[in-house]
A and B are shown apart, each in its own frame.
Chain A
Amino acid sequence: MRFIFIALFFAINVNAQILKKVFKYSTLYAAYTQTNSIQPQKTFYVTQSSELIETTRRNPADEIRTIGFRKLAFFGYEDKERFYDGSEQNNSINSNIGNVKGLEYLFEYQKGIQQGREFENKQYFIRYLAKWWIAKGEVNQNQLIDLNYKSADIRLRLPLSKKLSISLGGVYRTYDKAYGHNPIQKYLENNNWWYLSYEYGHYDVPYDWTLPDGQTGFEYFWFDQNDNLISYSDLDYRNSIYGNLVNRYNREQLALIGGFADVSAVVGLDFYHYRKSFWMHIYGNVLPKHKLVEGDEKYSYGAFVGNDDWIDYSLGGSFGLRITKTFGLFAELTNQRWWDRELKTIKVGVNIRL
């Protein structure tokens, strides 16, 4: 009996220590942000009796509700806000290593409205950084920039110095679009453009026209599935309506194909040096070899490029130099190409304090 009590006491004590380690320095936060939205240019409609009617669509105020739980260290050069509100940008998520060893995580959920469009964003990130290995998992669903992926990677880490390390391993990544494939292109290779309109219930009715100089011709009225007149000519229809049908068709066809998952080999590099007067943080990953593990192979990115050894990469860097107390230079760069999706940001600047 005494043995059971001792074992129980030991187990509780160990668990308490582990929990303390996991949650120490973590922050639970919630925030509500409301800002004025960008309003579109004013638009008007003039009736047959010359009455002017304003038709401008007013966007409601932008709103974001955020709830999150985080334990993610800032790098020395990053501005740490006094309170977390969900707008923080941490390079730690993009780089392979953080500013501290051990466990770091971020669980954040946002819901809101921007430019009149409702959105829901989820970001879950967890990483364990040890001296000789790194494990990382991420789920990112951002409806504002149409991003949706999951990834998990595990690597061996080789520190070449206190500041520089390389890492080698494998990464599992999902993607929900058949990158490189354009369903409408295939459709138009085999069909005339107006067949797509018919498929969505639109129909055309021909009519003849005669100009005052006697010139004659014919055109088509276009009606929607509810018999509403939506366009007075083919050209007007293609300019104003058809684009939406194309997007809808692509979206539906790509959704039928479903998602994909690749396992890829990855080589990473990280360099971090920070002093108040000079800092440099460089990180990068190259993914040279891939294997499709989920999804229809026919529509995979590998099938699109014709092999399994295309090169995906992600690079980033941050640089700052205070030449004097009043004069400084800074630069930030990120460049990522995963499948046929490329994201690039460049920021350079100078600060002169008067």
Chain B
Amino acid sequence: MNIFVDATREALRLLFSGDAYVWGILRISFYVAISGIILGGALGLPLGVWLGVARFRGRSFLVALVNTGFALPPVVVGLIVYILLSNTGPAGSLHLLFTPAAMIIAQTILAAPYVAGIALAAVQAVPRDVRLQARALGASSARALYMHLREARVGLAAALIAGFGAIFSEVGAVMMVGGNIEHETRVLTTAIVLETRQGNYALAMAFGIVLLVIAFAVNAWLTHVQQAQPAVRTDRSWS
């Protein structure tokens, strides 16, 4: 039990003493995950919205593909990005391997289908009639789509928040393509792996607690957003 108490104490000390090593890792962690969710969202949101709204042949296949992306193993993504960016790979000349950019690329690939899948569900949960009703009041197709997305906005925000939570706590891909280099590519998750291997359990636990607190904060925010306004007002029957 003692180790948990020590670890908690150590975690609080490290955080509040402004320890450069810890804050450096936090800074890189946020930089990589926020960049990953911005780029993953930029790809995933439009994809999810498109799949949620459009009807075309082959749509089911694409939806299945997006849903598979949910279960994309991070190490496999890490492996593919590694091969692409390695010296012998097609993008080797960019020399991005073991840089934050490589980690951002991997996390973008992980986040995009995650965001797309949740956004798709959110858009589909709004009755299709919404766009027809907007158009029946004179809205253009584009404006009617905006009205539809406005109704799905809580679900769309949830997609981004959940995507951020997922990539922030991911370890496999960032470890492979980032290399866990101190002050460069070391993030919370990879730092935990390293410190545990080196027997610095208290420090590893401190990082673990920070990660937990952040995960909790993200989920609390998500819950708040969802509770403040139900994602969807399903077709009410007025009786």
Are A and B interaction partners? no
Binding site for A on B (CB under 8 A): none
Binding site for B on A (CB under 8 A): none
